[in-house]
Chain A
């Protein structure tokens, strides 16, 4: 090894005086500690794709939940003589009213075969799709996380039995059973709805209820598995032992320690569950097993549009593009959340 010093240094006595702690400190910048939440949110905000997706979701929600309430047309309103209007056109009657000086709100996306304003139908349709996605995910979250947490926490034979049940449900081809269940319970629900006290079933729609029922019965297993494995991993952690030693009860441990620590995973899984539920609902609606007429959903709108595809392709494009956009946005937001909550989990 060579001794080298390209420039000869001029050294002074003061240089060899001991440095103060303050001087030493100035060299080591400590990064301030940030809380888990703040850190995750900061990462999420920096993720452009996720933020754009979130914006798209909020805009779609605004148009599907709020705008239809103030919209000049109702989704079930059939305007005689306005069948199959092209976007931004008016029927002869409407044209006459305009000529008479009346103001007529344009049919932005035209009208369908029964003369219903298509824009409001698409908006209400996406409301149904979003509602199904959100409610179904909430149900899945509730059942799945409880089941998984209980199974993982107690372990032993409880875990064994509970997980065998999950295994069986997991290997069942779910779409097949969903089709079957929604088909089979359609009639019994309709009968039940006719009875006094069950009128609410009619309001919500028997098909929607059967969809929720199916989700509640089948779709929670994925969530249960994830939560269980998280709980199993956390159970080994020392702070749980510490909490136990301090006399915390089982319920408290599950709530306070385990669930708060799995919250990141829960948020991510639920967010990714939403598009998958919307997907399934649209699938069923497309097959005619979804929402009841005249209520539209994006799937049934697309299915209806198929009949007039040659002449009225725009009737297909609006719901098709919208549902793709919604599912895409939720997927991307979910990916963003996953990256934000657990940078290591990055796929």
Chain B
């Protein structure tokens, strides 16, 4: 168990390192290098960068300097937002995205698990068909379609929901809906197939033979087993909502990290792109590792391996 935890943490650290390295060198493929590509950089920022990363030194030294600073959470100054450090920007923007994403994840879990279970228990009946059709559509419709169509129907055509910013609870409705649509659909399908698998298991028959009612055997014996695959999906779901926020925040003009990332791509704000990429990747990889480790504790079957 301990060996597994160490191994998993090592893999996570390795991956973060690889991602940071790839990010650095990719950005240096940009002609002239990321830090000097634009003429419009303020002299002050240029000087600060020059000092920090030693831009006249060989690439490998720059790399070492950048990685050392990044490890301490220092990604340098923004090239476009004068006087602000990349870390400042991340710290000020991320809570907005985190709140939005958190609500979406919770919504997806609290809708997807019951919907999937209900579908499985009504297998072959109309309720199952309805849930499957909705879930299949949920997987097929790209988030920008959900966003834009939702925005048009509820914001423009019906005019019942605000479409920009994130100031009142009503502002949350469309972005959260758009962000949680795909994960909800995915969890529904996952839960349905895993529930179907579980209710066919021998131990469910044992539970019934003991005299447990259908409901009791479902809640005690089936749910605990069927929910395990959903836990493994929490990591990918998180990555999805974080990257999904690029589009959602862009469309709904939400002042979060995702929207910031997109506009820094448009503005070619290289330091912000690098910093945000490394920050988000670290976040996703860390949470993935934590969930993998947590999973070992929850599922006793693999505890000993």
Indicate with 1 or 0, residue by residue over A305-335, a CB within 8 angstroms of chain B CB atoms.
1100110010011001101100110011000
In angstroms, Cα B31 to Cα A183, docked, is 12
Does A299 count as interface, using CB distance less than 8 angstroms? yes
In the complex, the answer to whether A331 meets B23 with C-beta atoms within 8 Å is: no
How distant is the Cα of A176 from the Cα of B281 in the complex, in angstroms? 8
CA distance A171 to B8 in the complex (A): 11
- Report A-chain residues with C-beta under 8 Å of the C-beta of B145: 302, 320-321, 323-324
Q: Is the CB of A173 within 8 A of B152?
A: no
B6 within 8 A of A: no
With CB as the reference atom, state the residue of chain A lying closest to B17: A168
A283: which B residues are within 8 A, CB to CB?
Answer: 142-144, 247
- Interface hit among A28-36, A225-233, A245-253, A286-294: A286-294
Query: Whole-angstrom distance between the alpha carbons of A332 and B284 in the complex?
Result: 30
Among A59-67, A69-77, A78-86, A184-192, the stretch that binds chain B is A184-192
Task: Tell me the nearest residue of chain A to B192, going by C-beta.
Answer: A347
Interchain CB contact under 8 A, B265 and A320: no
Q: Residues of A within 8 Å of B, CB-based: how many?
A: 44
Q: Which of B141, B144, B261 contacts A286 (CB 8 A)?
A: B144
* Complex-state Cα separation, A181 to B284, whole angstroms: 18
Chain B residue at smallest Cβ distance from A282 = B142
Task: Choose among A188, A287, A305, A313 the residue that contacts B265 (Cβ–Cβ < 8 A).
Answer: A287
Instruction: For chain A, residues 157 to 191, give those with C-beta under 8 angstroms from any C-beta of chain B.
Output: 167-168, 171-173, 175-177, 179-181, 183-185, 187-188, 191
Q: Given A287-B246, A306-B251 in contact, is the A331-B148 Cβ separation under 8 Å?
A: no
Take A172-B18, A176-B280 as given contacts and tell me if A306 and B242 are in contact as well, using a CB distance cutoff of 8 Å.
no
Q: Which residues of B contact A306 (CB under 8 A)?
A: 148, 251
User: Cβ of B29 and Cβ of A185 under 8 Å apart?
Assistant: yes
With A171-B12, A171-B285, A183-B273 already in contact, the answer to whether A316 and B142 are too (CB < 8 A) is no
Q: What residues on A are CB-neighbors of B246 within 8 Å? A: 175, 179, 287
A328 touches B285 (CB 8 A): no
Give every chain B residue within 8 A of A316 (Cβ-Cβ).
148-149, 152
Chain B 256-274, CB within 8 Å of chain A: the 1/0 string? Answer: 0000011001100000010
Given contacts A167-B11, A176-B280, A283-B247, contact A347 B189 (CB under 8 A): yes
State whether the Cβ of B78 lies closer than 8 Å to any Cβ in chain A.
no
Q: Kindly list chain A residues whose C-beta atoms are within 8 Å of the C-beta of B189.
A: 347
Question: Inside 8 A of A179's CB, which chain B residues have their CB?
Answer: 243, 246, 261, 265, 277
Within 8 Å of chain B (Cβ to Cβ): is A219?
Answer: no
User: Do residues B284 and A173 form an inter-chain contact, with CB atoms below 8 A?
Assistant: yes
B247 vs chain A, min Cβ distance (A): 6
A303 at the interface (CB under 8 A from B): yes
Q: Is A279 an interface residue (CB 8 A)?
A: yes
User: Residues of A contacting B152 with CB < 8 Å?
Assistant: 309, 313, 316
| B127 located at the interface, meaning its Cβ lies under 8 Å from any Cβ of chain A in the complex | no
- Provide the bound-state CA to CA distance between A286 and B250, in Å: 10
**Binding-face segment, B55-63, B79-87, B132-140, B168-176:** B132-140
CB of B151 closer than 8 Å to a CB of A: yes
Tell me which residues from 42 to 101 in chain A have a Cβ below 8 Å from any Cβ of chain B.
none
Is the CB of B30 closer than 8 A to any CB of chain A? Answer: yes
Would you call B242 and A173 a contact (CB within 8 A)? yes
**A275: CB under 8 A from chain B?**
yes
Question: Which residues of A, 238-274, contact B by the 8 Å Cβ criterion?
Answer: none
Mask, B272-302, CB within 8 Å of A = 1, is 0100010011001100110000000000000
Please give the distance in Å from A214's CB to the nearest CB on chain B. 11
User: By the criterion CB–CB under 8 Å, are B11 and A279 in contact?
Assistant: no
Distance, CA A309 to CA B159, complexed state (A): 13
Q: How far is the CA of A309 from the CA of B243 in the complex (A)?
A: 24
16 residue pairs A–B, Cβ–Cβ below 8 Å: A172-B15, A175-B246, A176-B243, A177-B281, A179-B277, A187-B31, A188-B30, A287-B246, A287-B250, A302-B145, A313-B152, A316-B148, A320-B145, A324-B145, A327-B140, A332-B136
Binding site for A on B (CB under 8 A): 11-12, 14-15, 18-19, 22-23, 26-27, 29-31, 136-137, 139-145, 148-149, 151-152, 156-157, 189, 192-193, 239, 242-243, 246-247, 250-251, 261-262, 265-266, 273, 277, 280-281, 284-285, 288-289
List 14 additional contacts besides A176-B239, A191-B31, A313-B157; criterion CB under 8 Å: A172-B15, A172-B18, A173-B285, A179-B261, A180-B23, A180-B273, A275-B140, A283-B144, A303-B144, A320-B145, A320-B148, A321-B145, A323-B145, A327-B141
A contact residues vs B (CB 8 Å cutoff): 167-168, 171-173, 175-177, 179-181, 183-185, 187-188, 191, 275, 279, 282-283, 286-289, 299, 302-303, 305-306, 309-310, 313, 316-317, 320-321, 323-324, 327-328, 331-332, 347
